[in-house]
Structures are given as structure tokens and as C-alpha cells.
Chain A
Amino acid sequence: MDPQRGDENPHTPAPTLWPVGFAVGIACIFVGLIVGPIVVVVGAVLTALFGLLWVRDISAPHRAGAAEPEPVPTAPPIPAHRGEAAMPEPGEGELIRFPRSKFLEFSTLGLGGVIGGIVTLPILGFTILPPFIKQGHPEIDVGPLDDFPENKFVITTFLLNPKDGEVSRRTAYIRNNGLLNGVPSFTALSNRCAHLGCPVQVNGLPLDDQKKTENGVDLIPTAAAAGFGCPCHGGQYDSEGNRTAGPPVRALDRYEFRIKNGRLLLGKTYSVSEVDGSGADAKIHSYPLAGPGQHVDGIEAVLYPIQPPR
């Protein structure tokens, strides 16, 4: 026989009713805290009395010294290959039966799998899907056209998603290019560096004293800006957003814009590989929005074939 841990006889004390009285005593004490001190005293006496009796009962075998364990009749265990078979072998001409143990095994695994799947799928969906669904932002009203002087960049900060609060504040560098064929033309650059997303800064003097604030949109005109520079890793861009030096892999992203009731509205962002020309005549090589550091043209663009929905 295998050696067993512990004794043959469990150390369970004989059943006793004293704990009931003990519990009544405790309850009495609590009731007494509300009703009055006499009840507390009664409860304490009951608790002490029944507690004592209870302890007396459980400690009785120890105090008497452990009794000789009664001899337990032992018999050799029946080996598995002897005795009656749990399931007799199928007889001659009998169909092969599907044993119950197999059935239980398959049904346990199958049902467990189904239940697990039902529970897991929605959780998995909730874990993965929200970042890809209902993305994007509403159109942003950055103010009347008159606030944007011609051929000067205006540092424009605004809330991308007003309901998210200040955490969604973004910056665009907006330049009024004057009229092209009678239609106002703007250059609206995102300040997200095309290297790893740090905020690029104007290489020029912001005119803080001319700052305008309206509806949570800050407008700071700049003196003539000689392009943009990134503080993190030194990427440099010209005033069209073309990369001129440093690690960025493409030009600065741009905002789509439209004009409504004499006000400038910013729409979606798109990526730009490079810009030919400048100002209103610039030819922009545009692509769907890609993350910073991701090539949109050239051989490296094959590394980023699919962009998540924006």
C-alpha cells in the first residue's frame, strides 16, 4: 500500500452543540451594544460559558492523551486486471461500441470549447476592434479667412476631438497662398514629424503678441518662416514641408481644407511624399494617411501595404 499522509483517523472532534450557544452569546453582545449594557453582560457570560464548554469538548481527546488507534482491517487492493471488467469485451458479431468514457471525454471537450468560444469571442473583439472603428475626427473650424495673412504661416492649435478635451489638441501650420484662379488657396501642414511623430517647430519667430483665441482655437502669426525643424531627432523641412535634412522619410502631412461662409475648415489628414513648386502652384504628391516613419513611395512602401482605417 502507498504510504499516506497523516493519520488513518481524521482528527474531527465529536459533534457538539456548544457553538450554537457561543454564537447566540456573540449575537447578544452585538444586540446589547444597541439595546443596553445589561444585554452585553448577559451576552458576554453566555459567550464565555459556551466557549469554555466548546473548548472543553474539543480538547477532551488531547487532555486524555491520544487513544490507541483502533486496528483498521486491511486487505490487499484488487488489481485493475483482476475482478470484473467495467465494460465487457464486445462479443462475436457485435457492433463496436462507443464507450461511455469516450463520449464523456468528447462532450466535455466539445461543450467546453463551445462555451469558451462564446465567452472569448466578444472579449477578443472588444480588445482588438475599438482602435479601428469610428476613427477620424469632425471638421475643425479654425476661424475667418481674414485671420490668415498672405504668405505667412499661422501657428494654429485646435482640439481635434473636442469631446476628448485638451489631450486631443493638435497644431497645424496654415499659410494663405492668395488666390489661385479666383479661389483662395491654403497650405495646411500638420506639425507631426514624418520621422516618429514629434511636434515640428517653425524655424522663425512666432509673434506671440498678435495671438488670437476663438472657440478654443489659438492663432499665432509668424514672421517669415524658413521651414520647420523637429526638436527630437533633428529632422528639417522647407516651407512646403519637403524634407531637407535628418531622418524623416517623407514630407509633412497636410490637412484637407474647405471654405464655408468665409471661414476655413480643416478636414482629414493625408500624407505627402514630396511637393514640387511652392505656394498656390505647388504640385502635391499625396497618399492616404500613413503613420510617421512609414514610407508612402519608393521601394520601401511595399512594407506598408495596408493602412488601418482612419
Chain B
Amino acid sequence: MARRPPGRREQIIKMMLYPLDWLEERSGLVGAVRYFLFRKVPGDISWGHTLGSASLTAFIVQAVTGVILAMYYKPDPNSAYESIRHITDDLTLGWLVRGMHKWGASVFIILMFLHMGRVFLYGAYKYPRELNWIIGVLILVLGMMEGFFGYLLPWDETAYWATVVGVNLQATGPFVGPFLGDILRGGSEIGPDTLARFYSLHMLVLPGAIAGLIILHLYLVIRLGVTSPPWSPTAAGKVQPGPPPPPRAGLVEPRPRGARLR
């Protein structure tokens, strides 16, 4: 059977989609993104379920503003304070980006706690999602370490003495405490190495670890799906009255455009 020559419109659409097809054929990434964005979620989820994405957004804001601040910040005891002052007072919009990073740090932690509270109250940490709870707790701990190490960087009196107290607090831990304190300080006394060490931990080690854990966290969210609220009539484990529900009950069914709700 002879092929009908494609119409002009079809040809144009094909041309426009060609880059996507090219990418999909070589990587499968287009399908992966579609799978991620159009996966099925329970029909009775609420705004509370967006707190995880909100935390992720806060982390991305921290990462982006942090990278830009790192272009101007100098982790050296003699110039750190001056470089922060330069960012805040001299550079165009520097005060804004620094403010986003400073206040966004609190937003990130608060959102993580709210997200944690939602997961706890909905019982979403239960089987089979225990591992994801554990990963989330690790992200929270690393996020708070980010706060601890980042607090020294402005290198003013508050930052310095808060860090002195914070490190000494760690050093009062039994047995290994004194050694932990020396590792954090980079020696028995706070010195030039301490600031650089905190900077490296704050901007390289911890963000990398958090990003890795976030990827694992999201992988498990996609793999295990989103939980229904406990009061949902279609939540897993609920006794369904009447005939057994269809196998995909509780999931939003895709329906053609314009179709009515059944």
C-alpha cells in the first residue's frame, strides 16, 4: 500500500517535535519526565501535600542564591566581613540576594518541619514508606548543619561567638566530644582554617549530600506513590462497602477533555 504523502501541517508539527523525539530516542528522558509529571495521585489530596515540593523549592533557592553569593564572598578572616559588607552595600541587588539566602534558610527549615508534621499526622511514614521517613530526617539534620556552618560565614561578633559556643557545645559530648570539637575547629583553637573549613562544608559537602538524598527521597516518592489522607474512603486498608472496588479505585482516572465527572 502506497504511503500517503504527509500534509504540510503534519510536517510542521513533526519538525517542531523533532528535537524532543531526538532527545527521547537517545535518552528516554522525555518519557521519564512525562512519567514523573503525569503520574497518578489520590483524588483527595490537599494543599498539605505540596509542602514537600515547597521544601524542595526553598532548597533550590538556597542553592542558586548561594552559588551567586560565592562569587563575591571571601572565606578569609581578614576579608570575610568586608566581602559581606561589599555584597550588602555596594553590589546592585546584593542586599536582596543575600537577604533571600539568609531568610530562605529559615524558610527551608520551617517548611521541612511542616512537611514532616503533615507526613506524621497523615501516617504517611508507615509501611512501605519508613525508609523515606528516615531519608527525610537525614535531610533535616543536614539542613540544620547547613545553618550551623553558614552562621559563621558573615564573620561578625555574633557569628564568631555563636560558633565558639556551638563548637564547644559539641565538644562537651562524652568520650569523642573533645576530638569532634577539634575536627570542627580544624585545631585546638579557632583560627584561619576554621572559616575556610566551615565554608567548604557549607557550600560543597552538605549541599551535595542533601541533593543526593533529595534524589533518593523523590525516587521513593515516585516509586511508592502518594498516600491518601487517613479519612479518605479509598485509603489503603479501608473496608470498602459493597462490591470490591475496581483495581485502580482511589486514583484519578484520566478522562478525555470535556468529559464529565462521573
**Measuring CB to CB, which residues of chain A are less than 8 angstroms from any residue of chain B?**
5-6, 11, 65-66, 68, 128, 130-132, 135-137, 160-161, 164-168, 196-199, 232, 290-294, 303-308, 310
Contacts and interface: CB of A to CB of B under 8 A. Distances in A.
Contacts of A305: 175
B164 interface: yes
B44 interface: no
Nearest to B1: A68
B172 A165 contact: no
12 contacts: A65-B3, A66-B3, A131-B183, A196-B172, A197-B164, A292-B171, A293-B171, A294-B171, A304-B175, A306-B175, A308-B178, A308-B182
Contacts of A168: 189, 191
A137 B191 CA distance: 12
Closest 4 CB pairs between A and B?
Answer: A293-B172, A303-B174, A167-B77, A197-B168
Given A128-B183, A131-B182, A304-B178, A167 B192 contact: yes
Looking at chain A's contact residues, is the secondary structure mostly helix, strand, loop, or mixed?
loop
Nearest to A66: B3
Contact of A232 (B161, B181, B185): B161
Given A196-B164, A294-B177, 17 more contacts: A130-B193, A131-B186, A132-B182, A135-B187, A137-B189, A164-B192, A166-B78, A167-B77, A168-B189, A196-B165, A196-B172, A197-B167, A291-B168, A292-B168, A306-B175, A306-B178, A308-B179
Given A294-B172, A304-B177, A130 B186 contact: yes
A298 B14 CA distance: 82
Given A135-B188, A166-B77, A307-B178, A293 B168 contact: yes
A199 B226 CA distance: 52
B188 A232 contact: no
Contacts of A166: 77-78
Chain B interface residue number, banded: 20 to 34
B190 interface: yes
A6 B25 contact: yes
Nearest to B22: A11
A161 B192 CA distance: 11
B169 interface: yes
A160 B164 CA distance: 16
Contacts of B193: 130
Nearest to A168: B191
Contacts of A161: 189, 191
Nearest to B195: A167
Contacts of B168: 196-197, 291-293
Contacts of B188: 131, 135-136, 308, 310
B185 A160 contact: no
Given A65-B5, A165-B77, A165-B78, A291 B189 contact: no
Nearest to B14: A62
Contacts of A303: 174-175, 177
Interface in B1-36: 3, 5-6, 25, 28
Most buried by B among A6, A137, A290, A293: A293
Contact of A291 (B25, B171, B174, B175): B171
